[in-house]
Chain A
Amino acid sequence: MFCNKTIMITMKRLKIVALMAVLGFFASVVSVKAQDPAEGEQIFKNNCTSCHAATDEVVIGPGLKGIGQRRPIDWLVKWVHNPQAVIASGDKYAVDLFNKYNKTQMSAFPSLSEGQIKSVVAYIDAQAAAAPAPAADGAAPAAGAAPAEGSSNGGMMQYIMVALLLIMVLVLIALLSIVSSLSKLASISPDAAEAQNVPLLKRLAENGKKLAANSAFKTGAALLITLLIGKATIDAAYGVGIHQGYAPEQPIQFSHKLHAGQYQINCNYCHTGVYKGKGANIPSANICMNCHNSIKRESPEIQKIYRSLEKDEPIQWVRVHNLPDLAYFNHSQHTNVGGLECSNCHGDIAKMEVVQQRSTLTMGWCIDCHRKTDVNTKGNAYYDKLVELHSKDHKEPLKVQNIGGLECSKCHY
Chain B
Amino acid sequence: MENNTKRYWRGIEELTNNAEFVKYAHREFGDAPSENEKGEALIDGTNTVRRDFLKVLGFGVSAVALAACEAPVKKAIPYLNKPEDVEPTIANWYASTFIDGGDYASVLVKTREGRPIKIEVNPMSSITKGISARVHASVLSLYDNEKLKGATIGGKPSDWATTDKEIIAELGKVSARGGQIRIVSNTIVSPTTKKVISEFIAKHPTTKLVTYDANSVSGLIQANGGILPSYNFSKAKTIVSIGADFLGTWLAADEFSEQWAKTRRVSSAEGGNKEMSRHYQFESIMSMTGANADYRSTYKPSQEGLVVTSLYNALASKLGATPIGGASIKIDHFDKAVSDLVATKAASIVVSGSNDPAVQTVVIAINAMLGAYGNTIDAGMPSNYRQGSDAEMTSFINEAKAGQIGAVIFYNANPVYNHPRGAELAEALPKIGLTISTNDRADETGSLCKYNTPDSHYLESWNDAEPKRGFFSFTQPTISTIFKTRQAQSSLLTWAGLNGDYATYLENAWSSTLGGKSAWSKALHDGVYEPGASASFNVPQTGLADAVVSISKNYKANSDKMELAIYEKVIMGTGSQANNPWLQECPEPVSKACWGNYAMVSLATAKKLGLDQEIELDTHEVEVSVNGKSVKLPFIVQPGQANDTVAIAIGYGRTKAGKSANEVGANIYPFASVINGNIAFSNTGDVQVKATGKSAQIARTQTHNTVMAREAVVQETVLSAYKKNVEAGRFKPEISTAEGKKTATDISLWNGHKYNNHAWGMVIDLNTCTGCSACVVSCNAENNIAVVGRQEVINRREMHWMRIDRYYSSDADVEDVKGLEYASENPEVVFQPMLCQHCNNAPCETVCPVLATTHSSEGLNQMTYNRCIGTRYCANNCPYKVRRFNWFRYYQTDEYDFQFNNDLGRMVINPDVTVRSRGVMEKCSMCVQRIQAGKLEAKKEKRRPKDGDIQTACSQSCPTNAITFGDMNDETSEISKLLEAEHKGRAFGVIEEINVKPNISYLVKIRNKDEKVKKEEAAVEHKEHA
Binding site for B on A (CB under 8 A): 236-237, 240-241, 243, 246, 248, 272-273, 276-279, 281-287, 308-309, 312-319, 322, 324-326, 328, 330, 332-333, 336-337, 379-382, 385-386, 389-390, 403-404, 407-410, 412-413
Chain A residues near B862: list those with CB within 8 A: 407-409, 412
Whether the pair B936, A408 counts as a contact (CB closer than 8 A) is no
Bound together, the chains give a CA A286 to CA B90 distance in angstroms of 19
Q: Name the residue among B78, B87, B88, B925 with the largest chain A CB count within 10 angstroms.
A: B78
Bound together, the chains give a CA A382 to CA B938 distance in angstroms of 7
Whether the pair B939, A333 counts as a contact (CB closer than 8 A) is yes
Whether the pair B80, A412 counts as a contact (CB closer than 8 A) is no
Bound together, the chains give a CA A317 to CA B75 distance in angstroms of 6
Question: Is B791 in the interface zone, CB < 8 Å from A?
Answer: no
Residue of B with least CB distance to A272: B87
Whether the pair B71, A283 counts as a contact (CB closer than 8 A) is no
Whether the pair B76, A317 counts as a contact (CB closer than 8 A) is yes
Partner of B867, one of A281, A283, A408: A408
Question: Is B866 in the interface zone, CB < 8 Å from A?
Answer: yes
The B753-772 residues at the A interface (CB cut-off 8 A) are: 756-757
A284 and B943 in contact, given A246-B71, A332-B936, A413-B929 (Cβ under 8 angstroms) = no
A240 and B914 in contact, given A408-B854, A409-B856 (Cβ under 8 angstroms) = no
Partner of B78, one of A236, A285, A389: A285
Whether the pair B854, A279 counts as a contact (CB closer than 8 A) is no
Question: Is B471 in the interface zone, CB < 8 Å from A?
Answer: no
Bound together, the chains give a CA A309 to CA B82 distance in angstroms of 12
Mark interface residues in B921-965 (1 if CB within 8 Å of A CB, else 0): 000010011001001101110111000000000000000000000
Chain B residues near A272: list those with CB within 8 A: 82, 87
Whether the pair B757, A403 counts as a contact (CB closer than 8 A) is yes
Chain A residues near B76: list those with CB within 8 A: 282, 316-319
4 cross-chain pairs, A with B, having the tightest CB-CB distances, nearest first: A284-B82, A409-B862, A278-B89, A284-B79
Question: Is B127 in the interface zone, CB < 8 Å from A?
Answer: no
Question: Is B64 in the interface zone, CB < 8 Å from A?
Answer: no
Partner of B77, one of A273, A317, A330, A403: A317
Whether the pair A380, B939 counts as a contact (CB closer than 8 A) is yes
Bound together, the chains give a CA A309 to CA B66 distance in angstroms of 41
Whether the pair A319, B74 counts as a contact (CB closer than 8 A) is yes
Whether the pair B90, A273 counts as a contact (CB closer than 8 A) is yes
Question: Is B913 in the interface zone, CB < 8 Å from A?
Answer: yes
Whether the pair A409, B860 counts as a contact (CB closer than 8 A) is yes
Partner of B864, one of A273, A337, A409: A409
Whether the pair A330, B936 counts as a contact (CB closer than 8 A) is yes
Whether the pair A412, B914 counts as a contact (CB closer than 8 A) is yes
Chain A residues near B69: list those with CB within 8 A: 240-241
Question: Is B865 in the interface zone, CB < 8 Å from A?
Answer: yes
Residue of A with least CB distance to B851: A408
Whether the pair A409, B81 counts as a contact (CB closer than 8 A) is no
Whether the pair A322, B756 counts as a contact (CB closer than 8 A) is no
Whether the pair B854, A319 counts as a contact (CB closer than 8 A) is no
Partner of B914, one of A273, A282, A285, A413: A413
A332 and B940 in contact, given A237-B66, A326-B865, A412-B864 (Cβ under 8 angstroms) = yes
Chain A residues near B71: list those with CB within 8 A: 241, 243, 246, 322
Whether the pair A409, B925 counts as a contact (CB closer than 8 A) is yes
Partner of B89, one of A279, A308, A322: A279
Nearest CB of B to A384, in Å: 8
Residue of A with least CB distance to B81: A286
Q: Name the residue among B82, B854, B867 with the largest chain A CB count within 10 angstroms.
A: B82
Question: Is B546 in the interface zone, CB < 8 Å from A?
Answer: no
Residue of A with least CB distance to B783: A413
Whether the pair A283, B73 counts as a contact (CB closer than 8 A) is no
Partner of B87, one of A277, A283, A314, A404: A277
A284 and B78 in contact, given A277-B88, A407-B856, A410-B932 (Cβ under 8 angstroms) = yes
Residue of A with least CB distance to B917: A326
Bound together, the chains give a CA A277 to CA B757 distance in angstroms of 23
Whether the pair B74, A314 counts as a contact (CB closer than 8 A) is no
Whether the pair B942, A315 counts as a contact (CB closer than 8 A) is no
Question: Is B725 in the interface zone, CB < 8 Å from A?
Answer: no
Whether the pair A240, B66 counts as a contact (CB closer than 8 A) is yes
Partner of A281, one of B88, B854, B914, B928: B88
Whether the pair A382, B82 counts as a contact (CB closer than 8 A) is no
Question: Is B912 in the interface zone, CB < 8 Å from A?
Answer: yes
Chain B residues near A243: list those with CB within 8 A: 71
Residue of B with least CB distance to A233: B66
Nearest CB of B to A356, in Å: 13
Chain B residues near A410: list those with CB within 8 A: 856, 932
Chain B residues near A246: list those with CB within 8 A: 71
Whether the pair B75, A379 counts as a contact (CB closer than 8 A) is no
Provide a sorted-by-A list of 28 A–B residue pairs whose CB atoms are within 8 angstroms.
A240-B66, A277-B88, A281-B87, A282-B76, A282-B77, A284-B80, A285-B81, A287-B82, A315-B77, A317-B78, A318-B76, A319-B76, A322-B74, A325-B915, A326-B866, A337-B936, A337-B939, A382-B939, A389-B756, A404-B856, A408-B856, A408-B862, A409-B856, A409-B860, A409-B925, A409-B928, A413-B913, A413-B932
Nearest CB of B to A29, in Å: 31
Question: Is B858 in the interface zone, CB < 8 Å from A?
Answer: yes
Nearest CB of B to A304, in Å: 12
Bound together, the chains give a CA A285 to CA B80 distance in angstroms of 5
Whether the pair B90, A412 counts as a contact (CB closer than 8 A) is no
Bound together, the chains give a CA A264 to CA B199 distance in angstroms of 61
Chain B residues near A286: list those with CB within 8 A: 79-82
Whether the pair B89, A381 counts as a contact (CB closer than 8 A) is no
Bound together, the chains give a CA A406 to CA B862 distance in angstroms of 12
Chain A residues near B854: list those with CB within 8 A: 407-408
Whether the pair B75, A319 counts as a contact (CB closer than 8 A) is yes
Chain B residues near A389: list those with CB within 8 A: 756
Question: Is B857 in the interface zone, CB < 8 Å from A?
Answer: yes
A328 and B912 in contact, given A282-B78, A283-B78 (Cβ under 8 angstroms) = yes
A279 and B940 in contact, given A241-B71, A285-B78 (Cβ under 8 angstroms) = no
Bound together, the chains give a CA A243 to CA B929 distance in angstroms of 28
A326 and B914 in contact, given A273-B90, A282-B76, A337-B936 (Cβ under 8 angstroms) = yes
Nearest CB of B to A269, in Å: 13
Chain A residues near B938: list those with CB within 8 A: 382
Whether the pair B757, A386 counts as a contact (CB closer than 8 A) is yes
Chain B residues near A276: list those with CB within 8 A: 87, 90
Other than A278-B89, A317-B75, A409-B925, give 16 A-B pairs with Cβ distance below 8 A.
A236-B66, A272-B82, A277-B88, A279-B89, A284-B79, A285-B80, A286-B81, A287-B82, A315-B80, A317-B76, A318-B74, A318-B76, A319-B73, A322-B71, A407-B856, A412-B862
Bound together, the chains give a CA A379 to CA B943 distance in angstroms of 10
A281 and B78 in contact, given A243-B71, A328-B912 (Cβ under 8 angstroms) = yes
Chain A residues near B79: list those with CB within 8 A: 284-286, 314
Residue of B with least CB distance to A240: B69
Bound together, the chains give a CA A22 to CA B618 distance in angstroms of 95
Whether the pair B866, A404 counts as a contact (CB closer than 8 A) is no
Nearest CB of A to B64, in Å: 13
Nearest CB of A to B596, in Å: 34
Chain A residues near B915: list those with CB within 8 A: 325
Chain B residues near A279: list those with CB within 8 A: 88-89
Nearest CB of B to A406, in Å: 10
Chain A residues near B77: list those with CB within 8 A: 282, 314-317
Nearest CB of B to A95, in Å: 29
Nearest CB of A to B889, in Å: 14
The B68-105 residues at the A interface (CB cut-off 8 A) are: 69, 71, 73-82, 87-90
Nearest CB of A to B922, in Å: 11
Chain B residues near A237: list those with CB within 8 A: 66
Whether the pair A382, B944 counts as a contact (CB closer than 8 A) is yes
Chain A residues near B88: list those with CB within 8 A: 273, 277, 279, 281
Chain B residues near A314: list those with CB within 8 A: 77-80
Bound together, the chains give a CA A413 to CA B853 distance in angstroms of 12
A248 and B73 in contact, given A386-B757, A409-B862 (Cβ under 8 angstroms) = yes
Chain A residues near B857: list those with CB within 8 A: 403-404, 407
